Structure 1
Amino acid sequence: MRNARRTLIAALAVIGTLASATACGGGSNSLHSSGASGKTYTFWDPYPQFDASSAWAKLVTKCGTEAGVKIKRTGMDTSDLGNKALLAAQQGNAPDVMLVDNPVVSTLVEAGILNQTAALGLKTGSIQKNIIDAGTTVDGASYGVPIGANTLALYYNKKVLSAAHVDPASIKDWASLTAALKKVKAAGKKGITFSAINTEEGSFQFLPWFWGAGADLTRLNSSKAVAALSLWKQWVDAGYAPKDVLQNTQTTSWQEFATGQYAFSENGTWQLGNADKAGFGYGVISIPARNGGSAPVPTGGEFVTVPVQKDTGRYEVSKKIVTCLTSDANLLPTDTTLAYVGPTAVVQAEQVKRNPKLKPWVAAVASARGRTSGGLGTKYPTISQSMWTAVQDALSGGKSPRAALDAAQKAAAKGDG
Structure 2
Amino acid sequence: MKKNLILGMAAAAATLAVSAVAVSAEPVEVELWHYFDQSADSKAIVEWVDEYNSMQEDIHITATYVSRDELMNQYTVGALSGELPDIGMVDSPDMASYISLGVFEDITAELEEWGELDQFYAGPLSSCMDSEGNLYGLPQNSNCLALACNMDALEAAGYDHMPTSLAELQEMAEACTDADSQTYGFAMSCISTEEGTFQILPWLRGTQNGAERANVSDLTAESAVTGLTALANMVNNGSMSKECINWNQSDVFNQFASGKAAMAEIGTWHLAQTDTIAGFNYDFCLLPTGDEGTSSSTIGGENFGVCTGAENKEACVEFLKWMCSKEKSGEWGVVAGKIPTRTDATAEYDYEQDGFAVFTEEMNYADARGPHPEWPSISEAIYSAVQSVVVDGADPAEALAGAMETITPIIEETPLPETE
Work out the CA distance in 2 between the residues paired with 1:33 and 1:275. 39
Moved more, 334-343 or 186-195: 186-195
Within-5 A mapping of 1:183-332: 183-185=175-177, 190-213=184-207, 214-278=213-277, 279-293=279-293, 295-309=295-309, 314-332=312-330
Contact 1:47 1:76 in 2 (8 A): yes
Q: Identify which of 336, 339, 359 aligns with 1:338.
A: 336
Distance in 2 separating the partners of 1:263 and 1:234: 17
Matches within 5 A, 1:48-67: 54-64=43-53, 65-66=55-56
2:115 is the counterpart of 1:114 = no
In the other structure, the counterpart of 2:19 is none
Equivalent-residue separation in structure 2 for 1:414 and 1:83 (angstroms): 25
- Distance across 1 between alignment mates of 2:121 and 2:339: 11
Q: Please, which runs of 5 or more residues in structure 1 have no aligned partner?
A: 1-27
- 1:128 match: 121
Alignment-derived partner of residue 29 in structure 2: 41
- Whether 2:111 is the aligned partner of 1:139: answer no
Identity across the alignment (%): 24
- Provide the C-alpha distance between the structure 2 equivalents of 1:176 and 1:241, rounded to a whole number of angstroms: 15
Query: Is the CA contact 1:34–1:42 (under 8 Å) kept in the aligned structure 2?
Result: no
Cα drift, residue 149 of structure 1: 1.8
Would you identify which runs of 4 or more consecutive aligned residues in structure 1 move more than 6 Å? 186-189, 414-417
Counterpart of 2:169, as a letter, is L
1:358, CA displacement in angstroms? 2.3
TM normalised by structure 1 equals 0.80
Q: Is the 8 A contact 1:198 1:392 kept in 2?
A: yes
The reply on whether 1:351 has 2:344 as its aligned counterpart is no
Segments of 5+ residues of structure 2 without an aligned counterpart are 16-26, 208-212, 414-420
Task: Check 1:199–1:72 CA distance in 2 against 1; reply closer, same or farther (3 A cut).
Answer: closer
Q: Provide the rounded CA distance (Å) in 1 between the counterparts of 2:80 and 2:242.
A: 44
Alpha carbons 1:131, 1:146 under 8 Å: kept: yes
Structure 2 length as normaliser, TM-score? 0.79
The equivalences for 1:374-413 within 5 A come to 377-413=372-408
Residue by residue, what CA displacement relative to the aligned partner does 1:296-321 show, whole Å, maximum 9, x if unpaired? 3223221121234476xx44333221
The Cα of 1:409 is off from its aligned counterpart by: 1.8
Deviations 1:213-239 (A, max 9, x none): 422212332222211111111222233
Matched-pair contact (CA < 8 Å) for 1:174–1:290: yes
Q: Do residues 174 (structure 1) and 153 (structure 2) align? A: no
Q: Secondary structure at the match of 1:33?
A: coil
- SS class of match (1:303): strand
Kindly state the Cα deviation for residue 400 of structure 1 after the two structures are TM-superposed. 0.9
Structure 2 counterpart of 1:46, which letter? H
Distance 1:292 1:61 in 2: 48
Residues 200 and 384, structure 1, Cα contact 8 Å, conserved in 2: yes
Give the Å deviation of 1:211.
Answer: 1.8
Q: 1:36 to 1:280 in 2, by over 3 A?
A: farther
Distance 1:255-1:81 versus aligned 2 partners, 3 A rule: closer
Further displaced range: 337-346 or 105-114: 337-346
Alpha-carbon distance between aligned partners in 1 of 2:204 and 2:249, rounded to the nearest angstrom: 18
Contact 1:134 1:299 in 2 (8 A): no
The whole-number CA distance in structure 1 between the counterparts of 2:221 and 2:296 is: 18
Task: Name the CA shift for 1:107/1:180 in 2 (closer, same or farther; >3 Å).
Answer: same
C-alpha distance 37-95 of structure 1, shift in aligned 2 (>3 A): farther
After TM superposition, give the deviation of residue 143 of structure 1 in Å.
2.7
SS across alignment from 2:239: coil
CA distance 1:319–1:414, change in 2 (3 Å) = closer
Alpha-carbon displacement from aligned partner over 1:127-164 (angstroms, at most 9, x marks no partner): 22333233344334443211112322111001111222
Shift of 1:93: 6.2
**Superposed, which structure 2 residues align to 1:94-113 within 5 Å?**
94-113=84-103
Which amino acid letter does the alignment assign opposite residue 80 of structure 1?
Answer: E
| Match of residue 360 from structure 2 | 362
2:197 maps to a residue whose letter is S
In structure 2, relative to structure 1, the CA distance for the partners of 1:293 and 1:124 (3 Å cut) is farther
Q: Give 1:404 deviation, angstroms.
A: 1.4
C-alpha displacement of 1:248: 2.7
| Distance of 1:29 and 1:55 partners within structure 2 | 25
Counterpart-to-counterpart distance in 1, 2:393 and 2:342: 45
Contact 2:79 2:101 (8 Å CA) reproduced: no
More divergent stretch after superposition (396-405 vs 62-71): 62-71
